[in-house]
Amino acid sequence: MEEIVIEVIKNELENALINKDALKLNNIFEKYPTIDIAQVVNMGNYDITKLVYIFKVCESSYSADLFKELNNDIQKQLIDSFADKDIVELLSHTFADDLTDYLQEMPANVVSRILQIAPKELRENINRLLNYKENTAGSIMTTEYLLFNQDISLKEAIKTIQEKGKDAVTIYTIFIRDDQRNLVGTIDLDDLIFNKEDCKLKDIMNLDFQTADVNQDQEEVANIFKRYDLNAIAVLNNDKKICGVITSDDIMDVISKEAAEDITNISNVSSMSKSYLETPIMKLVLKCLPWIVALMILQIFSSMILSSFQSEINKFAILSVFSPMILDAAGNSGGQTTGLMIRSLSLDEIHKGDWKKVFFKEFRVGLILALIVGVFGFLWCLFELSVGIVSCHIKDYPAITVNDDLTLHLLVSLLVSLSLFVSILLAKIFGVFLCFIASKLKRDPAVMAQPLVTTLTDVVSLLTYFAIWVFLFEHFLGI
């Protein structure tokens, strides 16, 4: 359905641009969501002069919303093509926090030009937002909000909202201060509407409200929104005075960005600032290459272990056949645990102090899982050996002391089963500990834990496999 709508918008937009039909262009913005129109423009490879025409003939509110959704390259081309008066008109319909997001992606000359022609108050707000550390509450907040003195009446507040509400990022939550500009409460829009006009704001304001520190991590702020089901939250500076607000729209962007970063990190790919189709081929190569090379280097430990047990493999070649199964099972088990821990830490479901509780729970999960997989692994290996999928006969190993193939098959299957049991249990434990260590060191578990879990489980699985062979089965078989 969405693809059909996009195709319809594309046809209507191209016809309007060919005929230079300003009325039809405005009608397109009235009929369709701006995000869908922006998708058509981003994918359409339109001549920049045609896009400039859209911004000249369409209502400023439409064009400002469209500009916000365009990719960075098109935004830069438009800014380069605009006259100063066009930029000022665009700025007047753009919130400071949105504009700050654009400027962080723009070249220095474009930023300088915009700041030079921006109105003084907007320029001061942008400079203040640009100075906050990236990924903090200060970097995503907006400075266009409604702040009222607690002693005014509802009638006065509603009149102010009617006059200035369109310039505020939200009117669904308004913020209340005292005479010293300390934040003392919040009021939801429905409380304003359903109370008497002569009532003072301090009589109906909500005293149990949440705030965010200007330097607080944006993920922590997102968790506050989720926990308390907020529309907006006040951001306080170091003096505990309100300096901005964050809305649910801002938090949706944060959640989307953080989720995208976690997915790329878990997949061992560096995070991407643009969409897949907008990213050049060589940039995609460079995003993937460092992780591939790094993981290849980390595999040196597995190579060292295999090399040190080369003589054992030469004596009993069947050992090499089942090692990939053990490595894959342990790696998948550790990866599953890491994924669960990353999700739970990101959603603030578990905290750093919960590590003992989580460890004990995951240990029990690992114990049950390892037992089931161990039993299945025993039966599966026995099946592979019995039907000839994997060839293993006593005639191939004259030195062994067992008398028939079935006994040999049972012993090999037991070796694999025990190795699976120990490896999976240890992989689950590593997955928990590495995620909590990363969190304790204030590092992203998706970046730090995932590759280390893979390397550690490979090393431990191989050591477990060959240790069980050397200390238990080798002497029993007489090799």
User: Are 378 and 245 found together in one domain?
Assistant: no
Q: Which pLDDT score is estimated for 273? A: 62
Which residue, of 131, 158, 181, is where some domain finishes?
A: 131
Across 306-318, average pLDDT:
86
Say how many C-beta atoms besides its own lie within 10 A of residue 26's C-beta: 16
Specify whether 165 is located in the same domain as 127: no
How confident is the model at residue 408, as a pLDDT? 87
| 183 within a domain of the structure (yes/no) | yes
pLDDT score for 441: 78
Shared domain check, 174 and 115 = no
Domain containing 11: what range?
2-131
My answer on whether 312 and 446 are in the same domain is yes
Burial of 422 (0-12, 13-18, 19+ CB in 10 A): buried
pLDDT single digits (tens) 200-232: 999 999 999 999 998 898 888 988 998 888 999
Asked if 195 and 204 touch (Cβ cutoff 8 Å), the reply is yes
In a domain? residue 450: yes
Tell me what the mean pLDDT of segment 151-157 comes to. Answer: 91
**Residue 258 corresponds to which amino acid?**
E
- Asked if residue 435 is part of any domain, the answer here is yes
Residue 207 maps to a domain: yes
User: What percent of the chain lies above the pLDDT cut of 90?
Assistant: 23
Q: Residue 309 falls within a domain, yes or no? A: yes
Is the same domain home to 347 and 419? yes
> For 107-116, 165-174, 285-294, 304-313, which range has the lowest pLDDT when averaged over its residues?
107-116
Tens of pLDDT, residues 341-386:
887 877 778 876 788 888 899 999 999 999 999 999 999 999 999 8
Q: Can you give the pLDDT at residue 267?
A: 62
Residues 462 and 332 both lie in one domain: yes
Q: Which of 68, 103, 131 represents a domain boundary (last residue)? A: 131
In this structure, the answer to whether residues 312 and 460 fall within a common structural domain is yes
As a whole number of angstroms, the distance between CA 124 and CA 108 comes to: 17
Same domain, 225 and 313: no
| Residue 264, domain member (yes or no) | no
CA 399/CA 87 separation, integer angstroms: 86
Looking at the fold, whether 304 and 426 belong to one and the same domain comes out as yes
Where residue 160 sits, what CATH number does that domain have? 3.10.580.10
Out of 237, 254, 271, a domain closes at 254
User: What does the alpha-carbon distance between residue 461 and residue 360 come to, in Å, rounded to a whole number?
Assistant: 21
Please tell me the number of Cα atoms within 13 Å of 262 on its side-chain side: 19
Domains identified in the chain, total number: 3
pLDDT at 380: 95
> Are 239 and 159 in a shared domain?
yes
| Distance between CA atoms of residues 416 and 218, nearest Å | 46
Name the pLDDT band for 272 (thresholds 50, 70, 90).
low
* Residue 306 belongs to domain with CATH number: 1.10.357.20
Domain assignment present for 441: yes
Three-state SS annotation for 352-364:
HHHHHHHHHHHHH
Task: Supply the pLDDT for residue 382.
Answer: 93
CATH number (domain holding residue 27): 1.25.60.10
Structure pTM? 0.61
Residue 302's pLDDT band (cuts 50, 70, 90): confident
Strands 173-177 and 147-149: parallel
Query: Does an H or E element contain 199, and which?
Result: none
Q: Amino acid identity of 110?
A: V
| pLDDT, position 425 | 94
Q: Which string of DSSP letters, residue by residue, matches 246-286?
A: EEHHHHHHHHHHHHHHHHHHHTT----SS-TTTS-HHHHHH
Residue 183's pLDDT band (cuts 50, 70, 90): very high
- For 402-408, what is the mean pLDDT? 85
* Residue of 477 and 454 predicted with greater confidence: 454
Residue 215 lies in a domain: yes
Whether residues 443 and 319 fall in one domain: yes
| Pair 170, 125 in one domain | no
